[in-house]
Structure formats: C-alpha cells, structure tokens
Amino acid sequence: MNPQTLMDGLIAGSMIGLGAVGITLTYSILRFANFAHGDMISWGAYFALAIAGALGAAFSGLLTPIGPFSFGWALPIAALAATVLNGGLALLVDALLFKRLRARNSTVIIMVMASFGAALTLRSLLEFIFTSKPAYYTNALQIALPLGGGIRATPDQMLSLAVSVVIVIAVHLLLSRTAIGRSMRAVSENVQLSGLVGIRVRRVIRIVWVLGAVLAAIAGVFAGVLVQIRPEMGLDLLLPLFAAAILGGIGSVPGAMFGGLIIGVSEALAVGVVGAQWRAAVSFVILIVVLLVRPQGLFGRAE
Amino acid sequence: MTSAIVLATSGLVAGYERDLPIVRGIDFSLHAGELVVILGPNGAGKSTFVKAIAGLVPVHAGTTMLGEIDVTALPADEKIRHGLAFVPQTENVFATLSIKDNLLVAADILPKDLRNRRIAEIYAMFPDLADRTSRRAGQLSGGQRQMLAIARALIVEPSVLILDEPSAGLSPKIVAEVFARLRSINRAGVSIILVEQNVKAALAVADRAVILVEGRLRHEGTAAGLTEDPIIAELYLGARPNRALTP
Amino acid sequence: MNLELISYAAFFLTVALTYAIMCLGLNVQWGQTGVFNVGIAGFVAIGAYVSALLTTPETAGRIGGFGLPIVVGCVAGALVTSGISFLIGALTIRLRSDYLAIATFGVAVAVQLCALNLQGLTGGPFGIGFIPRPFGEFAGNPLLFSLLNFGVLAVLVLVLYFVLERLARSPWGRVLRAIREDEAAAQALGKNAVKFRLQAFALGGGIMGLAGAVQAHFIGFIAPDNYQPILTFQVWAMLIVGGSGNNRGAILGAVLVWAIWAASAALVAAVFPAGEQARAATLQIVLIGVALCAILLLRPRGILGELRVVSRHLLKLPAAGGPTAEPNSKKAPHARNS
C-alpha cells in the first residue's frame, strides 16, 4: 500500500470519524438513527461560511491566512460561532419535533421518519438560501508539504487530523471522567433507572443534542476547508457516517473515530483500484458486512 | 406505633392503562423507623403499587405524601432528591458502568463536599464492593448486584427506601445476607418498604406486614401476628397450616 | 368543458397513480410485515432501468436495442426488482428496524451510484431517453393520449388493488398477519416467519419496480437524478397521510399528496420570477418537509393507532439474543414532563 494513500485515507477518515462520533452519541443516547445529522454538518459549514464572509467583509485583515494555513482568523472565529449556532439549531429541531414525538412515546420508526423529514427540510432550506453552487472559505491555494516517507500533506489537512484526534480524546474523557459523561452513559443504558438515581434525563438529552451538533459543525467546517461546501455535503457523508458508527460499535466514541479512519482508508484504497466514482460504494459494502457478520461493531456491546 | 408517618398513600389508584387500574385505591402509611413488607398473591399489584409511589407507573387518583410534601406527581428524579429511593426488581444497576461509576452517578446529585464522604461511607458499609470498584456491574454475581443496588440507593441518605422483591433469583444464603443487611440499615434509621414473595425471610425482618389482593389492601398486622396466624397464612400467603411460618 | 383541463387532470392523475403503485408496494412491505424501507427510490429505479433497457432502441455506448414491447419491459422490471429485493431481504430482514432502515438507505445510494457510473449499462448521468410510450402513436393528440394513458394506469391500479386485497385475505395473507401480531405464536405453529416476511418484502419490491417501469414509459426519459431520497420521502408521506396500513389508503394518499405537491409547486412557481425557478423548487420541498413533519406530529389517532399497533408488535419480537432483538427499553427515551 502506498503510504500517501494511507495518509489521504486517514485525513478523510478523521473527518468521517468526527461526524460519526456525533452520530454514535445521539444514536446510543437518543436511541434512534438521526438521518438529519448529515445536514447538521452542512448547516455547520454554512453557518461558518456566512459568518466568516461577514467578518471578512467588515475586517479584511481577518482574511489574511494564518501562518501556513489557507484561512485567516475569520474562519476559526466563525467556526466557534457556528458551533454555538448549530447547537441552537439542534435544540430548536428537538424542541419543535423530536421532543414532542418522545413525549408521545413514539416508536423508533417514527423518530427515524421524522429525522428523514427534518433532513430534507434542512437540506432544501440550505439550497434555497445559498443555491447549490459549491462554495469555499478561501481561494488561497495550499501546497502539500513533504512529511517524510514519501507522504505529503497540506497544513490544513494536518490541522484537521490533529484537531479530530484531540476532539475524540476530549469527548472520551468527558464521557469517562465527568459527571455529565456518566449521566450520558447511564441514560444510554437505561433511561428509567437513570431517572430513579436522580439523573435529569431531559437535561442530558439536550446536552447530547448540542454536543452532537457541535461535533457536526466542526466536521462541517473541516470538510469545507479540505474539500468544498455544498448543500449536499452532509447527505453524501451520511452513509459513511452510519457505516463508521456501526462499524465502531454504537455508543463507542473511540470506536466511531476508529471506524471513520477504517472507512477513510478503505475508500482511498478502493479508489485506487476501481476509480473515484465508486467511493460511496465502499461504505455500503462495509456497512452490509458489519451488519451481517458482527452487528454490534468492534467495540459495541452485544445486546 | 406513635412515631411520625414518613410516607403515606391515600386512595391511590394507578395502572399502566387509564381504564385498567391495577392499584385500586390503597391507603397505606409508613412510620419512621419501620420496616414494612407488602405481601400478596401473584398479580395483586404489589409491584405496581410501589412503582406508582416511585413514579414509574402513572397515578390516576389519590396522593402520595412524603412527610408533609405531596410527591404524587413528581417525576422519579425529583422524588430521589426528596429522600425517596427505589430499588427495582430487575435492571437495578447500570451493567455497563463500573461499581465506582454506579455509585458516582447516584452521588452526583449531592453537593460536591458531601459526595466523596458518602462514597467513602458506603464503601465502608459494603467492603465487598470496595474491593472491586472498577469492575463492571454486569460482571457481578446476583447477590453482589443486589448489594450494589442497595448501596446506590443509600448514597443519598434517603428517609424512605423501597425495594421490589430483592430476594428474586438469589440463593437462600445470599437472601439471608441481603435481609440481614436491610435489617441493619433499618436499625440505623432508614424506613423501609419491601415487596416480597419470600414470605418467611421477609416476615423475619419486618415490623409490620400488609397484604394486597387484587389491587386493594386486604389485611394488615404485625409480622409476629401474621407469622402465627395459620388461616391468614393459607389464604394469602400460600402456605399450608401445618407448614407454619416459623422463622 | 375545457379540454385542456381534462387533459391536464388525466395527466395529473396518471402520475399520481404511478405513485399509488409505489405506495401499494410499500404497504405490502410495511403494512403487512412492518419492514421499514428507506430505500424505495432504489427499488423504483431498478424497475425503471430494466424496462428502459429492454424496450429502447439501439444507442451508442450502452447495452440496448432489444426493442421489446412495453408490457414485457414492465413485467421484466417487476420481476428483476422482486429478485433483487429477495436478495437484499435475505441479507437484511433479520436486522432490527432502524438498522434495516439504514441498510435500505444504503441500497438506494448503491443503486443510484450504479446508475451514475455504469455508463455502458445505464447511460450514466445522461440517463436513458426515447423510452417507448404507450399509445405513442397518439402523442399528437394530447387529450386522447392522456386519457388513454390514464385509462391504462387506472386499470392497472385497480387490478393490483384487487389482487392485493385477495392476497391479504388468503391463507398467505393470514399467516403474515399472524406473524405481524405475534411472531412467537406464529413460529410455534410451524410457520417460518422469516420466509414469509421475505416473500412479502420481495413482492412489495417487485411492485415498486413495476411502478418505476410504468413511470419510465409514461415520461419517456429517466436519469439517476429522478431517484433521489426525496422520492422515498414522497412515497412514505403518501402512505402516512392516506394509508392506515390499508391499500385504499395507499391509493388515496398518493393522489392527495401528489395534489398537494403539484399545487405547492404551482404556487411557488407563480410567486417566484422565471430566473429563480430552481430556488423556488427547493422552497417547495422545504414547505413539504415541514408539512409532513407536522403530519407526523399531529396525525389523527386512527393512522397513528395503526402504525403503533404494527410497531408495538414488532417490539415484541422474541429476544433471540443479538441485534435482531428490540428490548422494550429501546424506545426513544423521554422523561416525564419532557
């Protein structure tokens, strides 16, 4: 295997992994496959685009690229704002739609159908506001720098990889060492018992929505930086995200990142063999194999 | 008993479906320091009754008072904060969490300075658990799990502890340990309600017993009195007269 | 009477009825067996492409030129889709419902991918054109053409309706209902539940393929873009709005939702200037998405009740260990006073 292929795969995979972490959290704690997660990623990217654009227009100095990266300070500031807005968006969608369905004890299938509807609405809204023309945070070109061993990567790519790893570690620590993390794990296992021990389940649910949305926003910004911004970007990621989360084992944060990396590398390898147009098939194949052979994934708990 | 009433239900009607109440109007009271056991044939509604008190089953009518406070409509996560702890029969620990995390999750509702102290006190009370704090609860034996569930409930120093068939699925030796533990907890001042099928073991530790039949409270008496009454025993407790309930 | 209006009405109803066929197929999968198929668009596409390939004239760079009659194409489309549904079902039908949903979603993505990339087979992103239309010789007379097509479709839907109703009342249908009500009991009676559900899944898939084929012949042109997730959403919406798990509801829902769709499209198109039509289309989808989420929230007890009954029984599936089981704690969590 060509080391560069591996590197490309890891970079793409870290983005998928970041999104998959959000999916695995919402899936295990909210207990349904949220088909709207992909579009949360898109919204995060577009929030950042709009804010970065506004900041750049007001203070052109913020557009000057920072160091070796392709973007100026406008983007990190916008990304931060985007995570907040995305969290708000998730809470809004929950309050309008999912919370009410939960209150009526809706089954999993209704929740998934609703998420499908929400996904379509969110995506089309983006397309309406921004049109489907691809957008970019910056026009600055990046040169891939040699890292040794025949591998090259752009500074943007290395940043994305590094940030993804840091975030996954942070989320893992959150889950394992903090009170809110304990509450999340408890709710993920048994909602009724959680209430009995005094956990405020409503609050945990809101926090999970926000955390998922924050992770989605970050994934969206990086996808926008490394590739491009389109209303469909989230939808295109949805199957790889689900495949990664299921491969890693629903509920396992390290598993989701690991799954994402595996998918990223597999896609990179496959593209070399069958061509780039078949990239999306890789996730599908991996998903089916996992569901047939070991549905609990690598690190998930067998039910 | 003349001591204060710590928990009382008045005309409690409850059930999963509105038109099919399983609990059909129960007046019940628990005095401070008492250990009361709820007995009755299968399907009598014993579990449903305590679950309704705990907030797991919808209450259609009547009230539950915890001391002076009306807790009827409070959700479970509020009731525990008022000092009402419930240990369900099944799924009463978080199997995927360690012993330590199981206790921490319960302690998280306490103020920070109190948290570590209570955990230490609980470990002192349950040395078996202290020996293996990082073991996942799912890997514990049935008896250890029950102890963990009780330990967890005690973290918040509840005034009332309710247990739903704590002896279920446990060997006689372990049942004896669990019940001995409950007695000592009770002696330390925690008022306890027990739902039990294991009549013999329950009456041995209880002060008082009530018998539920078809959702209503049919009979009440001291544990000693019921133990000696063969007709009650046969009618409600499924024992034949000559197999007396000698403890 | 305004002939143009009749012509338009016939055209509108014809399209609505092609959707009705898809709904009937979905009803077999969902209403009869509770399979949650989120990849409807894929199944429809398979039927459409098979029929198109068999009936179109020779085209450079692509397999074709069989020039078979339309009926043959449609039947073949249904059969091939049915076969592929059977295969997919064999792999996935034991999965719990949300994993099944993800898997079927993946199937639709995979089908679209194949349609896009296997240019030699499917014509790639350009799709397949010159698909023969029934009564094509009357194309010059819009009124006659649209009425004839409507007639064919109406007959087709009626036949399908009656066949499916008979099937539902047949021993086969009764077994399916028994499985839906209580799988443990059905299995105790010696009925292999999986086998029956698989058959229903394949049948439903075949019907969806038939719908795709019929639609392809009516429109005369297909491309991968026609089979996006939004099609899946439309069909589900139709079944929810009209269907209470029964076939009449499927047909009515299709017509009703298609009417709403067409009306909103016309409304939005009227409001927006000519250059902004693409954007107008997206707004229409936004409105539809919102409206249908609202329906999920506010549905009258009846439709909700039916769906609940099916789902509740699914939740009772025996816990055979492993991911196929759905323990009751797996419902979406809610705290009181949420």
pLDDT at A146 > cutoff 50:
yes
Domain extent for B9: 5-237
CB contact under 8 A, C335 and A35: no
pLDDT of A124: 92
Q: Please name the residues in contact with B118: beta carbons below 8 A apart, sequence gap of 6 or more.
A: B107, B110, B155, B156, B157
What tokens does C45 get?
């596409």
pLDDT of C229: 87
Cβ of residue A2 closer than 8 Å to a chain C Cβ: no
Place of tokens 């293996």: B132
pLDDT of A105: 78
Most B CBs within 10 A among C312, C336, C337, C338, hence the mutation to make, goes to: C336
Domain residue limits, chain A: 3-293
Please, are residues C33 and C197 in contact by the beta-carbon 8 Å criterion? yes
pLDDT of C279: 80
pLDDT at A141 > cutoff 90:
no
* CATH code for the structural domain at A3-293: 1.10.3470
Cβ of residue B55 closer than 8 Å to a chain C Cβ: yes
Please, are residues B86 and B40 in contact by the beta-carbon 8 Å criterion? no
pLDDT of C10: 87
pLDDT of C329: 36
Q: What is the mean pLDDT of residues A252-261?
A: 94
For the stretch A79-119, pLDDT in tens is 999 999 999 999 999 999 999 888 887 777 778 888 988 99
pLDDT of C171: 87
Please, are residues B201 and B237 in contact by the beta-carbon 8 Å criterion? no
Q: Please name the residues in contact with C195: beta carbons below 8 A apart, sequence gap of 6 or more.
A: none
pLDDT of B59: 93
Number of DSSP helices (H) and strands (E) in chain B, helices first: 10, 10
Select the more confidently predicted residue: C92 or C108.
C108
pLDDT at C317 > cutoff 50:
no
Cβ of residue C335 closer than 8 Å to a chain B Cβ: yes
Cβ of residue C278 closer than 8 Å to a chain A Cβ: yes
pLDDT of C327: 37
Q: Provide the domain count of chain C.
A: 1
For the stretch C67-78, pLDDT in tens is 788 888 899 999
Tell me what the pLDDT averaged over chain A comes to: 90
- The low-confidence residues of chain B, meaning pLDDT below 70, are 1-2, 231-247
| Secondary structure class of A137 (helix, strand, coil) | coil
pLDDT of A302: 56
Cβ of residue C338 closer than 8 Å to a chain B Cβ: no
Note the Cα C129 to chain centre separation in Å: 22
Which residue in C283, C311, C327 is closest to A107 by CB distance?
C311
Most B CBs within 10 A among A29, A175, A193, hence the mutation to make, goes to: A193
Nearest residue to B236 (alpha-carbon basis) of B246, B220, B247, B224: B220
pLDDT at C14 > cutoff 60:
yes
Nearest residue to B108 (alpha-carbon basis) of A197, A184, A206: A197
For chain A, the maximum distance between any two Cα atoms, rounded to a whole number of angstroms, is: 58
pLDDT of C245: 66
Q: What is the mean pLDDT of residues A210-236?
A: 94
pLDDT of B175: 92
- The b/e string for A260-274 (b: 16+ C-beta within 10 A; e otherwise) is bbbbbbbbbbbbeee
Domain extent for C218: 3-228
Select the more confidently predicted residue: A5 or A1.
A5
pLDDT at C333 > cutoff 50:
no
Counting as contact any 3 or more CB pairs under 8 A, the partners of B are: A, C
Q: Provide the domain count of chain B.
A: 1
Cβ of residue A198 closer than 8 Å to a chain B Cβ: yes
What chain A residue is nearest to B161 in terms of C-alpha separation?
Answer: A196
Q: For residue C333, list chain B residues with Cβ-Cβ distance below 8 A.
A: none
pLDDT of C310: 42
For the stretch A165-179, pLDDT in tens is 999 999 999 999 999
Tell me if C312 is assigned to some domain: no
Distance from CA of B75 to the nearest CA of C (A): 6
Q: Which residues does residue B176 pair with via DSSP β-bridges, in sequence order? A: none
Cβ of residue C36 closer than 8 Å to a chain A Cβ: yes
The interface pTM score, or ipTM, of the predicted complex is 0.90
Which residue in A121, A195, A295 is closest to C322 by CB distance?
A295
pLDDT of B236: 59
Tell me what the pLDDT averaged over chain C comes to: 80
Say which range, B12-21, C183-192, C278-287, has the weakest mean pLDDT: C183-192
For the stretch C15-66, pLDDT in tens is 999 999 999 999 898 877 778 899 999 999 999 999 998 888 877 777 777 8
Band (pLDDT 50/70/90 cuts) for residue C86 is: very high
Band (pLDDT 50/70/90 cuts) for residue C305 is: very low
Q: What is the mean pLDDT of residues C87-104?
A: 85
Q: What is the mean pLDDT of residues C166-189?
A: 77
pLDDT of C337: 33
Q: What is the mean pLDDT of residues C200-223?
A: 93
Nearest residue to A247 (alpha-carbon basis) of A189, A294, A302, A188: A294
Residue type, A168: V
- What CATH number is attached to the domain comprising B213? 3.40.50.300
What tokens does C124 get?
């790639």
Q: Please name the residues in contact with A218: beta carbons below 8 A apart, sequence gap of 6 or more.
A: A18, A44, A79, A83, A163, A167
Please, are residues C192 and C176 in contact by the beta-carbon 8 Å criterion? no
Q: What is the mean pLDDT of residues C86-108?
A: 87
For the stretch C199-211, pLDDT in tens is 999 999 999 999 9
